[in-house]
Protein backbone atom coordinates (compact mmCIF):
# COMPACT_ATOMS: atom_id res chain seq x y z
CA UNK A 1 0.00 0.00 0.00
CA UNK A 2 1.27 3.46 -0.94
CA UNK A 3 2.26 5.57 2.03
CA UNK A 4 0.60 9.01 2.27
CA UNK A 5 2.40 11.48 4.53
CA UNK A 6 0.23 13.42 6.96
CA UNK A 7 0.48 16.74 8.71
CA UNK A 8 0.60 17.04 12.51
CA UNK A 9 -3.19 17.38 12.66
CA UNK A 10 -3.71 14.13 10.64
CA UNK A 11 -4.44 15.86 7.31
CA UNK A 12 -2.89 14.19 4.23
CA UNK A 13 -0.08 16.08 2.50
CA UNK A 14 -0.62 16.16 -1.25
CA UNK A 15 2.01 15.01 -3.71
CA UNK A 16 2.02 18.56 -5.06
CA UNK A 17 3.26 19.61 -1.62
CA UNK A 18 5.98 17.02 -1.72
CA UNK A 19 7.19 18.37 -5.05
CA UNK A 20 7.41 21.84 -3.53
CA UNK A 21 9.19 20.56 -0.42
CA UNK A 22 11.69 18.54 -2.44
CA UNK A 23 12.26 21.38 -4.91
CA UNK A 24 15.97 22.34 -5.00
CA UNK A 25 16.84 25.73 -3.60
CA UNK A 26 18.05 26.93 -7.01
CA UNK A 27 14.46 26.97 -8.27
CA UNK A 28 13.23 29.26 -5.48
CA UNK A 29 12.94 32.91 -6.61
CA UNK A 30 15.97 34.89 -5.54
CA UNK A 31 14.07 38.08 -4.79
CA UNK A 32 10.71 39.10 -3.31
CA UNK A 33 7.70 38.76 -5.58
CA UNK A 34 4.72 41.10 -5.51
CA UNK A 35 1.84 39.00 -4.24
CA UNK A 36 -0.80 40.71 -6.39
CA UNK A 37 1.23 40.41 -9.58
CA UNK A 38 1.79 36.76 -8.76
CA UNK A 39 -1.96 36.30 -8.25
CA UNK A 40 -2.65 37.90 -11.65
CA UNK A 41 -0.15 35.57 -13.31
CA UNK A 42 -1.77 32.60 -11.58
CA UNK A 43 -5.18 33.78 -12.74
CA UNK A 44 -3.91 33.77 -16.34
CA UNK A 45 -2.41 30.26 -15.92
CA UNK A 46 -5.12 28.83 -13.67
CA UNK A 47 -5.97 25.95 -16.01
CA UNK A 48 -2.38 24.68 -15.82
CA UNK A 49 -2.65 24.42 -12.03
CA UNK A 50 -6.17 23.01 -11.88
CA UNK A 51 -7.72 25.89 -9.97
CA UNK A 52 -10.82 27.96 -10.65
CA UNK A 53 -11.73 31.62 -10.30
CA UNK A 54 -13.49 30.85 -7.02
CA UNK A 55 -10.38 29.10 -5.71
CA UNK A 56 -8.36 32.18 -6.59
CA UNK A 57 -10.88 34.40 -4.83
CA UNK A 58 -10.17 32.50 -1.62
CA UNK A 59 -6.42 32.75 -2.27
CA UNK A 60 -6.82 36.49 -2.77
CA UNK A 61 -8.54 36.68 0.61
CA UNK A 62 -5.68 34.82 2.28
CA UNK A 63 -3.10 37.04 0.60
CA UNK A 64 -4.89 40.08 1.99
CA UNK A 65 -4.01 38.86 5.50
CA UNK A 66 -0.30 38.90 4.64
CA UNK A 67 0.89 42.36 5.76
CA UNK A 68 3.51 42.97 3.06
CA UNK A 69 2.94 43.43 -0.67
CA UNK A 70 5.91 41.20 -1.45
CA UNK A 71 6.35 37.52 -0.69
CA UNK A 72 9.86 36.35 0.09
CA UNK A 73 12.79 37.97 1.76
CA UNK A 74 13.14 37.20 5.45
CA UNK A 75 9.45 37.54 6.29
CA UNK A 76 7.57 34.48 7.50
CA UNK A 77 4.87 33.67 4.95
CA UNK A 78 2.23 32.17 7.26
CA UNK A 79 -1.22 33.71 7.75
CA UNK A 80 -3.48 32.52 10.54
CA UNK A 81 -7.02 33.95 10.19
CA UNK A 82 -9.92 31.91 11.54
CA UNK A 83 -12.46 30.43 9.16
CA UNK A 84 -15.00 33.03 10.28
CA UNK A 85 -12.59 35.89 9.58
CA UNK A 86 -11.75 34.49 6.14
CA UNK A 87 -15.44 34.17 5.24
CA UNK A 88 -16.10 37.73 6.37
CA UNK A 89 -13.21 38.93 4.18
CA UNK A 90 -14.81 37.03 1.27
CA UNK A 91 -18.11 38.90 1.61
CA UNK A 92 -19.89 36.23 3.58
CA UNK A 93 -18.89 33.13 1.61
CA UNK A 94 -20.30 30.02 3.35
CA UNK A 95 -17.70 28.34 5.53
CA UNK A 96 -18.21 24.96 3.86
CA UNK A 97 -17.62 26.53 0.44
CA UNK A 98 -14.53 28.32 1.66
CA UNK A 99 -13.06 25.12 3.10
CA UNK A 100 -13.69 23.31 -0.19
CA UNK A 101 -11.78 25.95 -2.15
CA UNK A 102 -8.99 25.90 0.43
CA UNK A 103 -8.64 22.17 -0.03
CA UNK A 104 -8.26 22.64 -3.77
CA UNK A 105 -5.54 25.22 -3.28
CA UNK A 106 -3.72 22.89 -0.92
CA UNK A 107 -4.09 19.95 -3.31
CA UNK A 108 -2.74 22.12 -6.14
CA UNK A 109 0.39 22.78 -4.09
CA UNK A 110 -0.19 26.51 -3.79
CA UNK A 111 -0.71 26.51 -0.03
CA UNK A 112 0.47 24.38 2.85
CA UNK A 113 -1.30 23.81 6.14
CA UNK A 114 0.78 24.29 9.28
CA UNK A 115 -1.60 22.89 11.87
CA UNK A 116 -1.33 23.25 15.59
CA UNK A 117 -1.95 20.20 17.83
CA UNK A 118 -5.57 21.29 18.32
CA UNK A 119 -6.14 22.45 14.74
CA UNK A 120 -6.37 26.15 15.62
CA UNK A 121 -4.48 28.92 13.87
CA UNK A 122 -2.45 31.24 16.05
CA UNK A 123 1.01 32.55 16.92
CA UNK A 124 2.96 31.37 19.94
CA UNK A 125 6.14 33.02 21.18
CA UNK A 126 8.90 31.30 23.11
CA UNK A 127 11.30 34.06 24.08
CA UNK A 128 12.68 35.43 20.84
CA UNK A 129 11.29 32.53 18.85
CA UNK A 130 7.93 32.77 17.12
CA UNK A 131 5.88 29.74 16.03
CA UNK A 132 2.93 30.33 13.71
CA UNK A 133 0.17 27.87 12.91
CA UNK A 134 -1.97 28.59 9.83
CA UNK A 135 -1.62 28.65 6.05
CA UNK A 136 1.89 28.79 4.67
CA UNK A 137 2.17 30.86 1.46
CA UNK A 138 5.74 29.79 0.74
CA UNK A 139 4.67 27.11 -1.81
CA UNK A 140 3.06 29.89 -3.86
CA UNK A 141 6.26 31.90 -3.62
CA UNK A 142 8.45 28.93 -4.52
CA UNK A 143 6.41 28.32 -7.67
CA UNK A 144 6.48 31.96 -8.80
CA UNK A 145 8.78 31.25 -11.75
CA UNK A 146 6.74 28.22 -12.77
CA UNK A 147 3.57 30.31 -12.62
CA UNK A 148 5.17 33.07 -14.70
CA UNK A 149 6.25 30.58 -17.38
CA UNK A 150 2.78 29.04 -17.51
CA UNK A 151 1.16 32.47 -17.80
CA UNK A 152 3.50 33.42 -20.62
CA UNK A 153 2.66 30.20 -22.45
CA UNK A 154 -1.04 31.05 -22.16
CA UNK A 155 -0.41 34.53 -23.56
CA UNK A 156 1.57 33.10 -26.47
CA UNK A 157 -1.27 30.68 -27.23
CA UNK A 158 -3.82 33.50 -27.09
CA UNK A 159 -1.64 35.64 -29.36
CA UNK A 160 -1.38 32.75 -31.82
CA UNK A 161 -5.16 32.38 -31.89
CA UNK A 162 -5.63 36.12 -32.41
CA UNK A 163 -3.13 36.09 -35.25
CA UNK A 164 -4.77 33.14 -37.00
CA UNK A 165 -8.16 34.77 -36.50
CA UNK A 166 -6.98 38.02 -38.07
CA UNK A 167 -5.46 36.11 -40.98
CA UNK A 168 -8.74 34.28 -41.58
CA UNK A 169 -10.58 37.61 -41.44
CA UNK A 170 -8.23 39.09 -44.03
CA UNK A 171 -8.57 36.00 -46.20
CA UNK A 172 -12.33 36.39 -46.06
CA UNK A 173 -11.98 39.96 -47.25
CA UNK A 174 -9.51 38.90 -49.98
CA UNK A 175 -12.02 36.30 -51.10
CA UNK A 176 -14.88 38.81 -51.34
CA UNK A 177 -12.68 41.27 -53.25
CA UNK A 178 -11.51 38.59 -55.68
CA UNK A 179 -15.12 37.53 -56.25
CA UNK A 180 -16.05 41.07 -57.30
CA UNK A 181 -12.88 41.49 -59.38
CA UNK A 182 -13.32 38.10 -61.04
CA UNK A 183 -16.93 38.84 -61.90
CA UNK A 184 -15.76 41.91 -63.82
CA UNK A 185 -12.85 40.14 -65.49
CA UNK A 186 -14.48 36.78 -66.30
CA UNK A 187 -18.24 37.16 -65.87
CA UNK A 188 -20.56 34.18 -65.78
CA UNK A 189 -18.40 31.72 -63.85
CA UNK A 190 -20.07 29.97 -60.93
CA UNK A 191 -16.84 30.21 -58.94
CA UNK A 192 -17.49 33.85 -58.08
CA UNK A 193 -20.80 33.02 -56.42
CA UNK A 194 -19.04 30.25 -54.51
CA UNK A 195 -16.42 32.72 -53.28
CA UNK A 196 -19.04 35.24 -52.19
CA UNK A 197 -20.99 32.57 -50.32
CA UNK A 198 -17.85 31.30 -48.60
CA UNK A 199 -16.87 34.83 -47.61
CA UNK A 200 -20.31 35.43 -46.10
CA UNK A 201 -20.30 32.13 -44.21
CA UNK A 202 -16.81 32.83 -42.87
CA UNK A 203 -17.85 36.29 -41.68
CA UNK A 204 -20.77 34.71 -39.85
CA UNK A 205 -18.53 32.06 -38.26
CA UNK A 206 -16.05 34.70 -37.07
CA UNK A 207 -18.75 36.24 -34.89
CA UNK A 208 -18.30 33.24 -32.62
CA UNK A 209 -15.34 32.21 -30.50
CA UNK A 210 -13.59 29.59 -32.62
CA UNK A 211 -10.95 27.10 -31.52
CA UNK A 212 -7.51 27.03 -33.07
CA UNK A 213 -8.49 23.84 -34.89
CA UNK A 214 -11.57 25.51 -36.41
CA UNK A 215 -9.60 28.58 -37.42
CA UNK A 216 -6.89 26.44 -39.03
CA UNK A 217 -9.52 24.54 -41.01
CA UNK A 218 -11.04 27.80 -42.27
CA UNK A 219 -7.59 29.05 -43.17
CA UNK A 220 -6.74 25.97 -45.23
CA UNK A 221 -10.10 26.06 -47.03
CA UNK A 222 -9.85 29.75 -47.84
CA UNK A 223 -6.25 29.36 -48.97
CA UNK A 224 -7.32 26.77 -51.55
CA UNK A 225 -10.14 28.98 -52.88
CA UNK A 226 -7.92 32.07 -53.02
CA UNK A 227 -5.22 30.27 -54.97
CA UNK A 228 -7.82 28.82 -57.32
CA UNK A 229 -9.31 32.26 -57.97
CA UNK A 230 -5.95 33.99 -58.30
CA UNK A 231 -4.64 31.41 -60.77
CA UNK A 232 -7.80 31.83 -62.83
CA UNK A 233 -7.71 35.61 -63.11
CA UNK A 234 -3.94 36.10 -63.31
CA UNK A 235 -3.40 36.73 -67.01
CA UNK A 236 -2.50 39.35 -69.59
CA UNK A 237 -5.60 41.44 -68.87
CA UNK A 238 -4.82 41.50 -65.18
CA UNK A 239 -1.20 42.47 -65.80
CA UNK A 240 -2.40 45.40 -67.94
CA UNK A 241 -4.72 46.46 -65.13
CA UNK A 242 -1.89 46.25 -62.59
CA UNK A 243 0.28 48.39 -64.86
CA UNK A 244 -2.45 51.00 -65.16
CA UNK A 245 -2.93 50.96 -61.38
CA UNK A 246 0.79 51.50 -60.92
CA UNK A 247 0.75 54.49 -63.29
CA UNK A 248 -2.24 55.94 -61.50
CA UNK A 249 -0.59 55.56 -58.10
CA UNK A 250 2.67 57.10 -59.33
CA UNK A 251 0.84 60.08 -60.85
CA UNK A 252 -1.29 60.56 -57.75
CA UNK A 253 1.58 60.48 -55.26
CA UNK A 254 4.22 62.36 -57.26
CA UNK A 255 1.76 65.22 -57.59
CA UNK A 256 2.50 65.89 -53.90
CA UNK A 257 6.28 66.17 -53.75
CA UNK A 258 6.29 66.78 -50.00
CA UNK A 259 4.96 63.24 -49.46
CA UNK A 260 7.69 61.36 -51.31
CA UNK A 261 9.98 60.81 -48.32
CA UNK A 262 8.86 58.64 -45.45
CA UNK A 263 7.70 61.29 -42.98
CA UNK A 264 11.04 63.22 -42.89
CA UNK A 265 10.07 65.19 -39.78
CA UNK A 266 9.67 61.99 -37.85
CA UNK A 267 13.05 60.73 -39.05
CA UNK A 268 14.61 63.47 -36.91
CA UNK A 269 12.96 62.15 -33.80
CA UNK A 270 10.15 64.70 -33.63
CA UNK A 271 6.53 63.98 -32.72
CA UNK A 272 6.33 60.59 -31.02
CA UNK A 273 9.32 58.80 -32.49
CA UNK A 274 10.78 58.31 -29.05
CA UNK A 275 7.48 57.36 -27.42
CA UNK A 276 7.56 54.50 -24.90
CA UNK A 277 7.17 51.11 -26.55
CA UNK A 278 6.17 48.88 -23.61
CA UNK A 279 3.68 46.06 -24.01
CA UNK A 280 0.83 47.68 -22.10
CA UNK A 281 -2.02 47.17 -24.55
CA UNK A 282 -5.16 45.43 -23.42
CA UNK A 283 -6.12 42.10 -24.90
CA UNK A 284 -8.79 42.63 -27.51
CA UNK A 285 -12.04 40.71 -27.49
CA UNK A 286 -11.95 37.39 -29.29
CA UNK A 287 -15.22 38.08 -31.09
CA UNK A 288 -14.74 39.93 -34.34
CA UNK A 289 -16.48 43.30 -34.69
CA UNK A 290 -18.01 44.60 -37.95
CA UNK A 291 -15.12 45.59 -40.21
CA UNK A 292 -15.69 48.55 -42.51
CA UNK A 293 -12.04 49.10 -43.49
CA UNK A 294 -11.23 48.86 -47.18
CA UNK A 295 -8.32 47.14 -48.89
CA UNK A 296 -5.57 49.71 -49.69
CA UNK A 297 -5.85 51.26 -53.14
CA UNK A 298 -2.19 50.66 -53.89
CA UNK A 299 -1.69 47.31 -55.69
CA UNK A 300 -0.09 44.58 -53.61
CA UNK A 301 2.46 43.76 -56.28
CA UNK A 302 3.82 47.33 -56.02
CA UNK A 303 4.30 46.89 -52.29
CA UNK A 304 6.28 43.70 -52.87
CA UNK A 305 8.32 45.31 -55.65
CA UNK A 306 9.16 48.29 -53.47
CA UNK A 307 10.14 46.18 -50.45
CA UNK A 308 12.49 43.44 -51.73
CA UNK A 309 14.18 43.09 -48.31
CA UNK A 310 11.08 41.29 -47.09
CA UNK A 311 11.99 38.19 -49.09
CA UNK A 312 15.22 37.90 -47.09
CA UNK A 313 13.31 37.51 -43.82
CA UNK A 314 10.12 35.82 -45.01
CA UNK A 315 10.24 32.87 -47.36
CA UNK A 316 6.52 32.35 -47.97
CA UNK A 317 4.54 33.43 -51.03
CA UNK A 318 2.82 36.83 -50.89
CA UNK A 319 0.00 36.93 -53.39
CA UNK A 320 -2.76 38.16 -51.10
CA UNK A 321 -3.11 40.79 -48.39
CA UNK A 322 -3.45 38.21 -45.64
CA UNK A 323 -0.05 36.81 -46.63
CA UNK A 324 1.50 40.28 -46.35
CA UNK A 325 -0.05 40.54 -42.88
CA UNK A 326 1.47 37.20 -41.93
CA UNK A 327 4.86 38.41 -43.16
CA UNK A 328 4.57 41.63 -41.15
CA UNK A 329 3.68 39.62 -38.04
CA UNK A 330 6.77 37.51 -38.66
CA UNK A 331 9.27 40.38 -38.96
CA UNK A 332 7.68 42.75 -36.42
CA UNK A 333 9.29 41.26 -33.25
CA UNK A 334 12.76 41.21 -34.82
CA UNK A 335 12.38 44.91 -35.66
CA UNK A 336 11.81 45.74 -31.99
CA UNK A 337 8.16 46.72 -32.42
CA UNK A 338 6.08 45.76 -29.41
CA UNK A 339 2.83 43.85 -29.60
CA UNK A 340 0.91 46.83 -28.21
CA UNK A 341 2.29 49.21 -30.87
CA UNK A 342 1.44 46.66 -33.56
CA UNK A 343 -2.09 46.17 -32.24
CA UNK A 344 -2.69 49.94 -32.10
CA UNK A 345 -1.42 50.35 -35.66
CA UNK A 346 -3.83 47.69 -36.87
CA UNK A 347 -6.71 49.35 -35.05
CA UNK A 348 -6.07 52.79 -36.52
CA UNK A 349 -4.77 51.88 -39.98
CA UNK A 350 -6.34 48.53 -40.65
CA UNK A 351 -4.23 45.35 -40.81
CA UNK A 352 -3.36 45.71 -44.51
CA UNK A 353 -2.09 49.29 -44.28
CA UNK A 354 -0.29 48.54 -41.00
CA UNK A 355 1.43 45.62 -42.74
CA UNK A 356 2.51 47.89 -45.60
CA UNK A 357 4.01 50.34 -43.11
CA UNK A 358 5.97 47.62 -41.31
CA UNK A 359 7.48 46.12 -44.47
CA UNK A 360 8.28 49.63 -45.75
CA UNK A 361 10.03 50.36 -42.46
CA UNK A 362 11.99 47.12 -42.87
CA UNK A 363 13.29 48.41 -46.18
CA UNK A 364 14.73 51.48 -44.42
CA UNK A 365 15.35 49.83 -41.08
CA UNK A 366 18.95 51.10 -40.75
CA UNK A 367 17.71 54.70 -41.02
CA UNK A 368 15.02 54.48 -38.33
CA UNK A 369 16.30 54.95 -34.78
CA UNK A 370 13.20 53.79 -32.91
CA UNK A 371 10.96 51.53 -35.03
CA UNK A 372 8.40 51.13 -32.25
CA UNK A 373 8.16 54.86 -31.58
CA UNK A 374 8.15 55.58 -35.31
CA UNK A 375 5.22 53.23 -35.85
CA UNK A 376 3.35 54.83 -32.95
CA UNK A 377 3.91 58.26 -34.51
CA UNK A 378 2.49 57.12 -37.84
CA UNK A 379 -0.39 55.47 -36.00
CA UNK A 380 -1.23 58.79 -34.34
CA UNK A 381 -1.25 60.48 -37.75
CA UNK A 382 -3.48 57.74 -39.13
CA UNK A 383 -5.89 58.14 -36.21
CA UNK A 384 -6.14 61.82 -37.08
CA UNK A 385 -6.78 61.00 -40.74
CA UNK A 386 -3.44 62.51 -41.82
CA UNK A 387 -1.60 59.45 -43.09
CA UNK A 388 -1.58 57.25 -46.17
CA UNK A 389 0.81 54.41 -46.86
CA UNK A 390 0.91 55.14 -50.61
CA UNK A 391 3.67 57.79 -50.45
CA UNK A 392 5.86 55.43 -48.42
CA UNK A 393 5.72 52.75 -51.09
CA UNK A 394 6.12 55.15 -53.99
CA UNK A 395 9.12 56.76 -52.28
CA UNK A 396 10.74 53.34 -52.03
CA UNK A 397 9.98 52.70 -55.69
CA UNK A 398 11.55 56.04 -56.61
CA UNK A 399 14.67 55.21 -54.60
CA UNK A 400 15.05 51.90 -56.39
CA UNK A 401 14.59 53.55 -59.79
CA UNK A 402 17.20 56.19 -58.96
CA UNK A 403 19.71 53.64 -57.66
Share of residues in the chain with pLDDT > 90 (%): 28
Question: pLDDT of 344-375, one tens digit each?
Answer: 999 898 888 999 999 999 988 888 889 999 99
Question: pLDDT of 23-38, one tens digit each?
Answer: 433 345 568 889 999 9
CA distance 402 to 145: 54
C-beta of residue 154 within 8 angstroms of C-beta of residue 173: no
C-beta of residue 114 within 8 angstroms of C-beta of residue 136: yes
Angle of the 95-107 helix axis to the 53-64 helix axis, nearest 10 = 90
What's the DSSP call for residue 334?
G
State residue 164's pLDDT score.
92
Question: pLDDT of 200-233, one tens digit each?
Answer: 999 999 999 999 999 999 999 998 888 888 888 7
Low-confidence residues of the chain: pLDDT under 70: 1-30, 73-75, 117-131, 234-295, 297, 402-403
CA distance 137 to 109: 10
C-beta of residue 41 within 8 angstroms of C-beta of residue 147: yes
pTM here is: 0.62
CB atoms within 10 A of CB 52: 12
Amino acid sequence: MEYTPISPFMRPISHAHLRVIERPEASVPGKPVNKWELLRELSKAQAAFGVTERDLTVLQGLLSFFPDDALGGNAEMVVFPSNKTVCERLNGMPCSTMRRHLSRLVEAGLLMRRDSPNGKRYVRKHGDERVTFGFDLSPLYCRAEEIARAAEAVREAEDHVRRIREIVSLMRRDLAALAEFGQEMLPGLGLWDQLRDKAALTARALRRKLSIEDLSAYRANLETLLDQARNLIDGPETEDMNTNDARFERHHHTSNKDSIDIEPALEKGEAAADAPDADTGKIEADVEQPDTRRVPKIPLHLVIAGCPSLKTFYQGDIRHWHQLFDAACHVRPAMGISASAWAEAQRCMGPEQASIVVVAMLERFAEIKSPGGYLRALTSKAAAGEFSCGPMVMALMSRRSAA
